[in-house]
Homo-oligomer: A and B are copies of this chain.
Amino acid sequence: MEKDLYTLAKDKALEYFEKAHIVLTEKEKNEVEVADFGLGDLYQTGLESVVYINTDNCCAKEMVLFPYQTCPEHIHPPIGDHYPGKEETFRVRMGTVYLYVEGDPVSNPKAIIPKNSEKFYTVFHEITLQAGEQYTLYPGTKHWFQAGSEGAVVSEFSTHCYDEYDIFTNPAIKRIPDIIN
């Protein structure tokens, strides 16, 4: 990702955090992570986040999704003998999020499936989360999510986050962003 785009997206994310009254330190503001998942189409497929804590046991972060921005379909696999895969709870703080998991599919998803990536979206059990609502994903549940028209701010509470092990349905995705400084 080009530095200019990073800076633009970071500043936009900070506006969402401010609107949601999420207080961040200057250090956190400077370290907002912007991920385009290596697809080079950030506003369609991307995620902005601030990681508060990620110990061996607990992870908590705050995320921003711009309007219709999608965190693409993935699963958190078991790692080694002792880690069954990440468990995560999403709690929406502002806006609306459409979350899709395995299970009975809806016929008309409210989210707009990212263009030219339709075949990499395979689960369509729809959960709509408004501000104040939350959903817990246990290990081994394929999922993806998208913000509604106003964008969204979402807290994530989870077990240790090993982003580098996530398995995306789209094999072209690279989770760890290259930021050109």
* A28 contacts the other chain (CB 8 A): yes
A76 sits at the interface (CB 8 A): no
Stretch at the interface among A103-111, A126-134, A141-149: A126-134
Contacts of A21 in B (CB 8 A): 20-21
Flag if A134 contacts B52 (CB, 8 Å): yes
Q: A58-B89, A89-B60 are in contact. Are A134 and B53 (CB under 8 A)?
A: yes
Q: Which residues of B contact A117 (CB under 8 A)?
A: none
Which of the residues B52, B60, B133, B136 comes within 8 Å of A25, measured between beta carbons?
B133
Complex Cα distance A158/B34, Å? 26
For the side of the interface on A, what is the size category? Answer: 20 to 34
CB-defined interface of A13-26 with B at 8 Å, one 1/0 digit per residue? Answer: 00000001101110
**A20 partner residues in chain B, CB cutoff 8 A:** 21
Q: Which residues of B contact A93 (CB under 8 A)?
A: 23
Q: Does A73 contact B (CB under 8 A)?
A: no
Question: Quick one: closest B residue to A156, CB to CB?
Answer: B60
Contacts of A53 in B (CB 8 A): 89, 134, 136, 157
Mark out the residues of chain A between 52 and 94 whose CB falls within 8 Å of any chain B CB in the assembled complex. Answer: 52-53, 55, 57-58, 60, 87, 89, 91, 93-94
Chain A residues numbered 100-129 whose CB sits less than 8 Å from any CB in chain B: none
12 A–B pairs (Cβ distance < 8 Å), ordered by A: A20-B21, A23-B93, A23-B94, A23-B131, A25-B133, A52-B157, A53-B136, A55-B89, A57-B57, A58-B157, A60-B89, A157-B157
